[in-house]
């Protein structure tokens, strides 16, 4: 399986390199590649639904055709193949960007001289772990959100504590990485705040009995960041190999995904509570309209919570929300593709959303009760209320069901309503896939096209 995947992406890489040598890659193409690489590396455990979507526009069909797989063979091995394809795509992008970086300049360094005493070329002093860490953070932090930067620093602080700060990074072996992995697996939850482990050195904290250890998901988050650092160090000549590669642990077969869509019965129940407040769970207008926007747009939590009244506009008779990072220096977007205009579903207008917007005119934000938090932006209040009050109150607090599940629900139902993938990608803010979409449809779809598509979303199942 791995050889089939490797051969496919190796051939694809050769075509990339031919293009690179002949005409180079545009700045836009390089930004798109870096953005895709960030998605693969930033996701939970290394990959998530957005990472998987990068494969769904042509790549899967092309690979299946090149490998000669039947539908039955694909169906039997789809899960494992998707994981290998994602890993191979990440490695391919990493290699390509490394080649691009090498073409950015010329090296005029003299070849290493041979020592008369040993007959070997002298070794260049290796950068310390602390130096590699500082350079890695300095290069990446301008592109990261504050939340991402804080998460990276927190994860890598564990590595700095385990290894000597002054240790040459290139001297860390695969065996060292395996020993470190065991320590990370034993990390206590909230180690720095729990009375039992607060203030204890790392190796003492992991030995404390009776404390809860971090989850598999959290462990894989750590290992994904260490692997990312290792990739960066290898590309920049700080190490000959990435000793942290492949250290994540696979979820058991049959394990549930982190998030899943709501059923028709569940969205019907959510809709009734948000509009009629039959159980008294909706205490504020902000909660009502924040929840309904999530339900009828598929927008991300923070994209909704940070909206301003001026972000609601109208063009050619079509009302829309303008999702951007403009107008407030605290507004953030996950990626460039997140910037978009999403038409208002006809049901939102029917329910009186525009009247609510009018009452907020002149205010700095549409939802004034959603306070700002450095880690979560403006989305914390809405997310906590949805998770801790609304879902439990409706007896719907189930594994995999959260606010973000509304986004999965929108994608699933538009796909079932025969909306083409590039169109619903535009609506939810996913990077468009395929040559046609990336290079010939750069402007995306019209508001009218998106309006017709989003109105196909239904709360209940059609009879």
Are residues 208 and 339 part of one domain?
A: no
Q: Is residue 258 part of a domain?
A: no
Are residues 333 and 421 part of one domain?
A: yes
Is residue 118 predicted with pLDDT exceeding 50? no
Q: State how far the Cα of 177 lies from the Cα of 326, in Å rounded to an integer.
A: 43
Are residues 287 and 210 part of one domain?
A: no
Residue that terminates a domain, selected from 102, 120, 152: 102
Ordered strands of the 312-315 beta sheet: 312-315, 318-323, 340-343
Residue with the larger pLDDT of the pair 257 and 367: 367
Q: State how far the Cα of 191 lies from the Cα of 199, in Å rounded to an integer.
A: 9
Q: Which of 229, 247, 235 is nearest to 174 (CA)?
A: 247
Are residues 380 and 283 part of one domain?
A: yes
Q: Is residue 358 part of a domain?
A: yes
Are residues 438 and 331 part of one domain?
A: yes
Buried b / exposed e along 295-330 (16+ C-beta atoms within 10 A): bbbbbbbbbbbbbbbebbeeeeebbbbbbbeeeeee
Q: Is residue 111 part of a domain?
A: no
Q: Residue 217 corresponds to which tokens in the numbers above?
A: 């998901």
Q: Is residue 462 part of a domain?
A: no
Phi, psi of 320 (to 5 degrees): -150, 165
Q: Is residue 242 part of a domain?
A: no
Q: What is the mean pLDDT of residues 24-28?
A: 67
For 281-330, the pLDDT digits (tens) are 999 999 999 999 999 999 999 999 999 999 999 999 999 999 998 888 88
Are residues 325 and 282 part of one domain?
A: yes
Are residues 206 and 163 part of one domain?
A: yes
Q: State how far the Cα of 231 lies from the Cα of 256, in Å rounded to an integer.
A: 29
Q: Is residue 122 part of a domain?
A: no
Are residues 208 and 86 part of one domain?
A: no
Q: Is residue 250 part of a domain?
A: no
Is residue 332 predicted with pLDDT exceeding 70? yes
Are residues 217 and 74 part of one domain?
A: no
Sign, CA dihedral 138-141-146-149, equals negative
Q: Which residues span the domain enclosing 35?
A: 2-102
For 29-77, the pLDDT digits (tens) are 666 677 777 666 654 444 445 555 566 545 776 777 777 777 777 777 7
Q: Is residue 246 part of a domain?
A: no
Are residues 426 and 351 part of one domain?
A: yes
Are residues 86 and 45 part of one domain?
A: yes
- Domain count for the chain: 3
Is residue 106 predicted with pLDDT exceeding 70? no
Q: What angle do CA 168, 162, 182 make, to 5 degrees?
A: 115
Q: State how far the Cα of 313 lies from the Cα of 200, in Å rounded to an integer.
A: 54
Q: State how far the Cα of 244 lies from the Cα of 225, in Å rounded to an integer.
A: 9
DSSP state of 113: P
């Amino acid at each position: 399986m791995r050889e089939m995947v490797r051969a496919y992406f190796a051939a694809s890489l050769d075509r990339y390199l031919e293009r690179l040598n002949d005409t180079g890659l545009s700045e836009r193409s390089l930004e798109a590649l870096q953005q895709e690489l960030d998605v693969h590396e930033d996701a939970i455990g290394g990959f998530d639904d957005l990472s998987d979507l990068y494969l769904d526009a042509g790549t899967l069909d092309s690979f299946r055709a090149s490998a000669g797989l039947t539908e039955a063979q694909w169906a039997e091995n789809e899960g494992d193949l998707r994981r290998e394809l994602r890993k191979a795509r990440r490695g391919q992008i990493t290699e390509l960007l490394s080649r691009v970086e090498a073409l950015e300049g010329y090296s005029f360094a003299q070849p290493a001289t041979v020592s008369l005493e040993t007959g070997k070329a002298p070794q260049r002093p290796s950068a310390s772990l602390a130096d590699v860490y500082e350079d890695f953070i300095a290069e990446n932090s301008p592109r990261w959100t504050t939340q991402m930067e804080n998460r990276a620093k927190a994860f890598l602080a564990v590595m700095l504590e385990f290894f000597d700060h002054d240790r040459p990074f290139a001297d860390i072996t695969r065996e060292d990485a395996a020993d470190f992995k065991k320590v990370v697996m034993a990390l206590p939850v909230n180690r720095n705040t729990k009375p039992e482990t607060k203030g204890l050195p790392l190796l003492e904290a992991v030995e404390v009995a009776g404390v809860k250890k971090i989850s598999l998901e959290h462990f894989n988050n750590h290992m994904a960041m260490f692997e990312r650092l290792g990739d960066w160090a290898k590309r920049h000549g700080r190490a000959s190999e990435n000793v942290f590669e492949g250290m994540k642990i696979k979820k058991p077969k049959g394990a549930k995904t982190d998030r899943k869509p709501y059923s028709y019965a569940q969205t019907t129940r959510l809709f009734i509570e948000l509009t009629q407040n039959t159980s008294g769970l909706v205490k504020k207008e902000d909660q009502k309209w924040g929840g309904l926007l999530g339900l009828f747009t598929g927008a991300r939590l923070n994209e909704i919570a940070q909206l301003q009244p001026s972000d609601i506009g109208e063009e050619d008779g079509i009302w829309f929300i303008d999702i951007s990072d403009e107008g407030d220096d605290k507004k953030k977007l996950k990626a460039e593709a997140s910037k978009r205009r999403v038409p208002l579903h006809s049901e939102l207008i029917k329910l009186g959303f525009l009247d609510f917007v009018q009452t907020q005119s002149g205010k700095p934000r549409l939802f004034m009760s959603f306070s700002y938090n450095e880690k979560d932006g403006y989305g914390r209040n809405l997310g906590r209320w949805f998770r801790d009050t609304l879902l439990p109150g409706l007896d719907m607090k189930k594994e995999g069901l959260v606010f973000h599940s509304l986004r999965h629900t929108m994608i699933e139902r538009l796909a079932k309503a025969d909306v083409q993938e590039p169109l619903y990608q535009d609506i939810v803010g996913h990077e468009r896939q395929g040559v046609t979409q990336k290079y010939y449809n750069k402007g995306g779809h019209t508001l009218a096209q998106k309006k017709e598509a989003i109105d196909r979303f239904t709360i209940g199942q059609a009879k």
